[in-house]
Amino acid sequence: MKVDEIGCQERVVTQWTPEQEDLRDAVKAYAQAEIAPHAAQFDEDSQFPEDHFQKLAEMGFLGLPVPEEYGGVGADLISYILMIEELAYACGATALAVSAHTSLATLPILQFGTEEQKERYLPALASGEKVGSFGLTESRAGSDSGATQTRAVLDGDHYVLNGSKLYITNASRAGVFVATARTSKENTGVHGISSFIIEAETEGLKIGKKEEKLGLRGSDTCEVIFEDCRVPKENLLGKEGEGFVNFMKTLEGGRIGIGALAIGLARCSLDHAKAYSQERKAFGKPISNLGAIQMKLADMATSIHAATLLVYDATRRRMLGMDHTTEAAMAKLFASEMAVKCCKEGIQILGGNGYSREYPLERLYRDAKLLEIGEGTSEIQRLVISKNILRD
């Protein structure tokens, strides 16, 4: 029986609709022609890809999964994941900036916001008029995000926020922040944490130091400080006290996005390693003739394909409204560790050249490392997975 005869529900996991293919090809064409040639310079200068970010916005890619009634394209989640993958292939820092803007700032407003909040903020985020940023991590609340110390106290028609957030992507460029703060008077763990939409111009919101990072250096990462920051009561995102629960749901989608980013970096590493192995000669023949090199390339390709299946499966589950907590954690865990390994093996294939900054492998390796840490470390993903399988 042919695929077309049994419908799209029975498609091979890596088979796309014509619309999805057209979108992926459009992103790929732009990313390879306009972004990839500058990726090394973004890294060297720790330079946010401002012009390209705005160009992506003009092309509609920042509002890809946002419904048309809120100024977006209304594309499905698969299309969004394909976009992140292709951007990452060209430049990991650009992909991270877009992913944080969309997955962590825009989509929570779409999922948990009131109609008034959606109408007010989504069009500006979807169009790129405003960049989105998400604040969760603190100095004492990383993997243990239930230990949030930032507090929000209701004072008349405003919540007054005091505290700080660390390692916040897009922070100095953001026009809209979505951030968590404890609204309960006592430290009650994950309970009593709420989330807020905070405009960058709000008095009391300050941007702290910019982080000097190992990789993804073109992605802007800063501390965000709240000092008697007065946020209108109507900017509470979701119900008071449900911020932690809501952002665990948000992070499930974010973890799938990290998986896609990992695939893009790993694919890029494999392609560079493969091309090099076919050109570089040793003992009179291309090193691709050597069994040791062939084994590495085979392992890299197999791992990338396995990660791809995990990421796409988790994506489809999320699209269908199915429970996907375990699958998202598995996808993020496997894909991030796979990317680090593939980039490492790519360097090994290039030998001394792989260690040189004249080739992109060392940058890909540095970029990939964050994926094992951000949006839940590998250790946290294993805890999530083990907890769920033991419960089952």
> What residues are annotated to the active site?
375
Count Cβ atoms below 10 Å from residue 29 Cβ, excluding itself. Answer: 11
The whole-angstrom separation of Cα 250 and Cα 253 is 5
Tally of CB atoms within 10 A around 64: 26
Check: CB of residue 153 under 8 Å from CB of residue 230: no
360: phi then psi, degrees, rounded to nearest 5: -80, -10
Identify whether the C-beta of residue 229 lies closer than 8 Å to the C-beta of residue 278.
Answer: no
Helix (H, G, I), strand (E, B) or coil at 356: coil
329/383 Cα distance (integer angstroms) = 9
Amino acid of residue 228: D
DSSP-assigned beta bridge partners for residue 206: 225
Paired residues of 306 in beta bridges: none
Name all contacts of 309-314 with Cβ < 8 Å and 24+ positions apart: 309/13, 309/14, 310/259, 310/334, 310/335, 311/81, 311/256, 311/259, 311/260, 311/263, 311/335, 312/13, 312/14, 312/78, 312/81, 313/13, 314/255, 314/256, 314/259
- Cβ(198)–Cβ(176) below 8 Å: yes
15-21 own/partner pairs: CB under 8 Å, 24+ apart: 16/78, 16/82, 19/75, 19/79, 20/76, 20/78, 20/79, 20/82
DSSP class of residue 211 equals P
Q: Which residues contact 153 (CB under 8 A, 6 or more apart)?
A: 159, 160, 183
- Bridge partners (DSSP) listed for residue 77: none
How big is the CA angle at 164 (ends 111 and 250), to the nearest 5 degrees? 20
Q: Tell me the three state secondary structure of residue 194.
A: strand
